[in-house]
Structure 1
């Protein structure tokens, strides 16, 4: 059983350790991290899943970005500890995060990922939306209202 809660400042080191465990070295060199530089994640949308022993087993973060002249959320990273994968925890985090974003009025969310996995959550490929290089355009996916939204993804406030 897992308990989901909003990420608190004190959770940061555990969440970063989880991301280090789940992703390859050099993950912070990815273009999506340049969009996060100097921008805080959206308060209230970043979630942590703890198991019965209060160990961080999964986490998801959301960051504000601009797409052309529109506002959007960049979902990620989302991670589940390797010993907890296959238990539905990633789906639990994804659905809870999407619902929290909807309740707070966010109309569109994007991520960079594998379409076959994220389609089950309602994500589709975004034509006309460009992440900074070297992102593969086929992996740029969106959720929500993307009608008439095109352009480059840029840093919030940048």
Structure 2
């Protein structure tokens, strides 16, 4: 499976995949807003094959220390449970580490994300923007990161 950076020609397909993967419909708009935000990191917006899936990491912070916020991760429903999400996760985490990032933080199912080395963020002293998120708020560290409150890229605040 080919994993590559998104291109401008992929934007409509990414929007479609994201809308089909999430029932709420807010996630596709979030990706569009993130793309226009200063926290956008083009090297960390990846697609699988013919845009069967998409994952993105954007600039976030643990206190004042730069980190990444991962999400959304979207896979076409017809291609879920076929390794697309797994390939995207491995690729984006590898790219993040290669770029020298120190931490990736996300909100998601611990049962799914633990297979990629994510652990409860509280184990690292990292707290979520919303206290109720704590059971699903996770981090994967590549380097030393002091504890503190995590802050996503600004478009996440509009959800």
Q: What TM-score comes out, normalization by structure 1 length?
A: 0.82
CA deviations on 1:129-150 (whole Å, 9 max, x unpaired) are 3333375111110001355322
Whichever structure has more helix as a proportion of its residues is 2
Uncovered stretches (5+) of structure 1, i.e. residues with no partner:
none
Check conservation: 1:58, 1:79, Cα contact below 8 A. Answer: yes
Query: How many aligned residue pairs are there?
Result: 151
Alpha-carbon distance between aligned partners in 2 of 1:35 and 1:80, rounded to the nearest angstrom: 18
- The root-mean-square deviation of aligned C-alpha atoms, in Å, is 2.8
Matched, 1:56 2:51: yes
Matches within 5 A, 1:2-17: 2-17=1-16
Among 130, 138, 142, the residue aligned to 1:141: 138
* Length-normalised TM-score, structure 2: 0.82
Instruction: Please state whether the residue corresponding to 2:19 is helix, strand or coil.
Output: helix
Q: Which blocks of at least 5 consecutive residues in structure 2 are unaligned?
A: 155-159
Runs of 4+ residues over 4 Å off in structure 1: 33-37
Any conservation in 1 of the 2:14–2:51 contact (CA below 8 Å)? yes
